[in-house]
Structure 1
C-alpha cells in the first residue's frame, strides 16, 4: 500500500465515520478539533485504524498526534514497518 493509498483510506473512513467534510481535512489542521472528537470517538477511531490497517493501536500512541499529518505519519510508519500484533 502506497502512502497516498493509506492517506486516501484514512480520509475515506474519516468522512464516512466522523461525518467531516473532505475539504476540512488538511495536513496541518488539528485532528481533535476538526473531527470534534470526544473520548468515545477516540475508541471508534482506534477501531477504524485497527480494522483498516491490521495493527493494534496503543493509547500512548495518540499522545504525540495533534494534526492530520501526525496521524498520517503514525499510520504510514506502522504499516510500512509491518507492525502486526
Structure 2
C-alpha cells in the first residue's frame, strides 16, 4: 500500500472516528498533543487501525511515534512487514 493511501485513510479515520478537524492534521505536528488523546483513545485508535489495515500494534510500537508522519511510517512499516 502506498504511503499516500495510508495517510489519506488514517486522516479519514481521525476525522470520522475522533471528530478531528482535518485542518489540524499535519505530518510534522505532534500526534498526541494535536489529537488530545488519553489512554482510552489510544486503545480505540489501535483497534480501528488494526481492523482497517490488518496489522497488529503493540504498546512498544509507539515508543518513537511523536508526529503524524511517525505514525504514518509505523503503519507503512507494519503493512510491509506483514506482506514480507
TM-score range, shorter chain: over 0.9
The reply to whether residue 72 of structure 1 matches residue 63 of structure 2 is no
The structural deviation recorded for 1:48 is: 1.0
Structure 2 counterparts to residues 4-83 of structure 1, below 5 A: 4-82=4-82
> Partners in 2 of 1:9 and 1:76 — Cα distance?
12
The structural deviation recorded for 1:6 is: 0.9
**Per-residue deviation, residues 2-33 of structure 1 (Å, max 9, x unmatched):** 11111110000011111111110000100001
State the TM-score, normalizing by the size of structure 2.
0.93
More contact order relative to length (CA 8 Å, sep ≥ 6): 2
> Partners in 2 of 1:73 and 1:3 — Cα distance?
8
> Partners in 2 of 1:61 and 1:26 — Cα distance?
21
> Partners in 1 of 2:50 and 2:7 — Cα distance?
15
Q: Structure 2 unaligned runs (5+)?
A: none
RMSD: 1.0
The structural deviation recorded for 1:63 is: 1.1
> Partners in 2 of 1:82 and 1:59 — Cα distance?
18
Structure 1 runs of 4+ with >4 Å offset: none
